[in-house]
A and B are shown apart, each in its own frame.
Chain A
Amino acid sequence: GQQLNQSPQSMFIQEGEDVSMNCTSSSIFNTWLWYKQDPGEGPVLLIALYKAGELTSNGRLTAQFGITRKDSFLNISASIPSDVGIYFCRMEYGNKLVFGAGTILRVKS
């Protein structure tokens, strides 16, 4: 099956710090999406990337679709307490949907 690796597994950072997480895959894909999940709720879409090399921002969030189409990163600048949650990358191949294992983010204020 397709391999999708997300790192880091968890981060515990100080409020105001920048955060970076990434996903890599063993295959090429056309779409990368980043989601955030709060405890007990469903994932919420943060950023969608559709073109290799695409760099997209959404407020303090920035994500890029790697030029090789095998990786993507998500950056959060100037973290705040409400950034706490689990962040997932997702990709699709054929009719299959695959999520990364998630990055647990905790912010110390």
Chain B
Amino acid sequence: GAVVSQHPSWVICKSGTSVKIECRSLDFQATTMFWYRQFPKQSLMLMATSNEGSKATYEQGVEKDKFLINHASLTLSTLTVTSAHPEDSSFYICSARLQGAGNSPLHFGNGTRLTVT
């Protein structure tokens, strides 16, 4: 089945530094990838929709200058948390949809736990 790989699985960084998280579709091409954040015992909240070759679409309240998204190829999207602060500590998850598959189910990465000290 379709596999989405997310890297790193966890990262600890100092306040003020930037962190990049990668999301790769391993055996399929994904025109669209989605980025979520999840706080403990809460649901996934969609942050942005990443579109290959164009600008990402951000959800209301998500700062696009803080959470930089790049979707340079059909198999890779990256989320960079810039000038991270402790309140950015969270579980970040990406998902991808098979190219041209309309409403087909999403395939999720295993998430990245970010801790900002």
Residues of A within 8 A of B (CB): 30-31, 33, 35, 40-45, 48, 50, 86, 88, 92, 95-102, 104
6 A-B pairs with CB atoms under 8 Å apart are A40-B110, A42-B4, A42-B109, A43-B44, A97-B46, A100-B43
Q: Is the CB of A33 within 8 A of B105?
A: yes
- Give the docked Cα–Cα distance between A30 and B41 (Å): 27
Contacts of A42 in B (CB 8 A): 4, 6, 93, 95, 108-111
Q: A41-B110, A44-B108 are in contact. Are A31 and B42 (CB under 8 A)?
A: no
Q: Is the CB of A40 within 8 A of B113?
A: yes
Secondary structure call for the A interface:
strand
Q: A30-B103, A42-B6, A92-B103 are in contact. Are A99 and B43 (CB under 8 A)?
A: yes
- Flag whether B77 is at the interface (Cβ < 8 A): no
Contacts of A96 in B (CB 8 A): 46
Q: What's the tally of chain B residues with a CB closer than 8 Å to chain A?
A: 23
Q: A30-B103, A88-B43, A102-B43 are in contact. Are A97 and B34 (CB under 8 A)?
A: yes
- Give the docked Cα–Cα distance between A20 and B2 (Å): 29
- Give the docked Cα–Cα distance between A23 and B49 (Å): 24
Contacts of B95 in A (CB 8 A): 42
- Chain A residue with Cβ nearest B111: A42
- Give the docked Cα–Cα distance between A8 and B38 (Å): 19
Q: Is the CB of A101 within 8 A of B103?
A: no
Q: Is the CB of B41 within 8 A of A104?
A: yes
- Give the docked Cα–Cα distance between A43 and B108 (Å): 6
Q: Is the CB of B44 within 8 A of A99?
A: yes
- Give the docked Cα–Cα distance between A97 and B107 (Å): 13
- Give the docked Cα–Cα distance between A44 and B49 (Å): 19
- Give the docked Cα–Cα distance between A59 and B45 (Å): 29
- Flag whether B57 is at the interface (Cβ < 8 A): yes
